[in-house]
Structure 1
C-alpha cells in the first residue's frame, strides 16, 4: 500500500525556491484553466439566456474544460508537474510522490489562481455572476458525492497511468491529452447532475466570488476520496514496491 510512503517533508521545503516556483506554476495554470472553463459558461449564458444546464451548454463546458486543462497541464508540467487540481495533488501525496508541505504550497497556488480567475472574469464582463457549482433538481448531496468520487477516481487514475507510473516511458503529450479528455468526458456524464467539478479549486473560486456555499463540501470531500482511492488502487496493483519517482516535473507530461 502506498500510504506508508506519505511524508510530511522538512521545514526548509516551504521556503525552497523550487517549492515557490511550483506554487506559482500551479497558480498560473489554474488561473488559465478556470478562466477558460468558467468563462465559457458565462459566455454561453450571455449568448443564449438559456443557462448552461442544456445539452449544448454541457457540450460547450466539456470542450472548454477539456481544451483548457490540456493547455494548463502542459504549461505547468516542466515546473510543478501540472496538477492544476488539489485532488490530484492529494492523490500524489497519498501515493508518496509529493510531501505534505510541498502539497500545501500547491493548494495555495491552485486556490488563489481560481479566485483571481473568477475576479478577473467578473471585472472584465462588467459584473456578470461567476456561478457556483450547484446540484440539479432531484439530485441529492449524496448522489452528487458519488458522482464526484467516481469521476475524480477516473481522472486521478488517468494521471497515475499516464504521468506517475515509472513504467510509462516517454509518451510526450499523451498525458495532458488523456487528462483533458477524461475531464471532458466526465463533464458530459455528470455535468447535468452536479456540474462535474472533480476539482476543489474549480469549485472554490466561483463560490468565493459569488459567496455561495450551498453543498460546497461535496466538491471537496468527493474529489479527495476519489483521488485517494485511485492512488491506492493504481499504486498497490500496478506499481507495487518498485522504485518510485517524484511526480513529473521535467517534461514527463
Structure 2
C-alpha cells in the first residue's frame, strides 16, 4: 500500500489533470449527444462530431503541458509501449481517466435524465465484429496522428491539438453512426456504467487498445524504432 501511495503521490498533478480533462471530454461530448436527443436533433450529428473534436483540441492546449493530455487508456498504453511514458504511471492515469468519465456521466444523468442512452456507444444492429474492426482502424488513425503531430520532433510545432482534434471530429462524423466512434475505452465506460448499457462493451476496450498498439508498430518503422523522434 505504501508503494502505491508513493506512486500516486509522484504523479498527483498529472493524474488530477487526466481526471479533469477526461471529465470535460465526456461531459461535453456525450452531453452533446444527450442534448441533441432532448432538442429533437438541434445539435445534429455533425454538431456532435464538432463538439468531440473541439473539446479534445482545447484540452490538449490546456493540459498537454501538465499531463501530456492522454484522456484515453489506449493512448496511455501506447505511450508506455513505445517508450514515451513510465510504467509506474500507467495505472494512476487509467484510474483517473476512468473516474473522470464516470463522474461526467453521473452528472449528466442527474442533470438531464436518462436520455440518448447517456451517449453510450453500441454497435449498429448489434454487429460487434463490424464495430471491432472499424474501431480498431479509427483508433489506429488517431494514434498515428498523435505520434506524427504530437511526439515527432520533426513535425511543425504547435499544431498537435488542432491535428488531433480534427482527427477525432472527422472520424466521429463519418463513422459515428456505425460504431459510435469511441476510440477511447473510458469514453464508453462512463455512459455504460451509469446507464447500465453493456451491450458488446468489451469491443470498446479491445479495439482501441489494439488499434493504438498497431500505430505503435507502424510508426516505429517510420522513425527507426522511435529513435528519430525522441
Structure 1 unaligned spans of 5+: 1-9, 246-253
Q: Corresponding residue for 1:135?
A: 123
Task: Give the whole-Å Cα distance in 1 for the aligned partners of 2:4 and 2:228.
Answer: 25
Where 2:155 maps in the other structure, the secondary structure is: coil
Q: Corresponding residue for 2:53?
A: 66
Q: Corresponding residue for 1:90?
A: 77
Q: CA RMSD in A?
A: 2.1
Contact 1:66 / 1:180 at 8 angstroms: preserved in 2? Answer: yes
Contact 2:18 / 2:67 at 8 angstroms: preserved in 1? Answer: yes
Q: Corresponding residue for 1:188?
A: 173
Q: Corresponding residue for 1:242?
A: 227
Report how many residues are paired.
227
Paired residue for 1:41, among 12, 33, 37? Answer: 33
1:159-198 matches, cutoff 5 A: 159-168=146-155, 171-172=157-158, 174-198=159-183
Task: Give the whole-Å Cα distance in 1 for the aligned partners of 2:8 and 2:108.
Answer: 31
**Cα displacement string for residues 50-103 of structure 1 (whole angstroms, at most 9, x for unaligned residues):** 6x9xxx732122111011111122221011110111111111111011122211
Between 1:86-95 and 1:148-157, the stretch displaced more is: 86-95
Task: Give the whole-Å Cα distance in 1 for the aligned partners of 2:84 and 2:226.
Answer: 13
Is residue 2:191 matched to residue 1:215?
Answer: no
Task: Give the whole-Å Cα distance in 2 for the aligned partners of 1:164 and 1:88.
Answer: 12
Task: Give the whole-Å Cα distance in 2 for the aligned partners of 1:157 and 1:144.
Answer: 19
Structure 2 unaligned spans of 5+: none
Shift of 1:125: 1.9
Contact 2:118 / 2:195 at 8 angstroms: preserved in 1? Answer: yes
Change (3 A) 1:120 1:241: closer
Change (3 A) 1:76 1:13: farther
Shift of 1:11: 6.7
When the two structures are superposed, what TM-score results if normalisation uses the length of structure 2?
A: 0.91
Displaced runs of 4 or more, over 4 A? 10-13, 126-129
When the two structures are superposed, what TM-score results if normalisation uses the length of structure 1?
A: 0.83
Contact 2:123 / 2:179 at 8 angstroms: preserved in 1? Answer: yes
Contact 2:8 / 2:92 at 8 angstroms: preserved in 1? Answer: no
Contact 1:148 / 1:222 at 8 angstroms: preserved in 2? Answer: yes
Task: Give the whole-Å Cα distance in 2 for the aligned partners of 1:104 and 1:90.
Answer: 10
Paired residue for 1:102, among 73, 77, 89? Answer: 89
More helix by share: 2
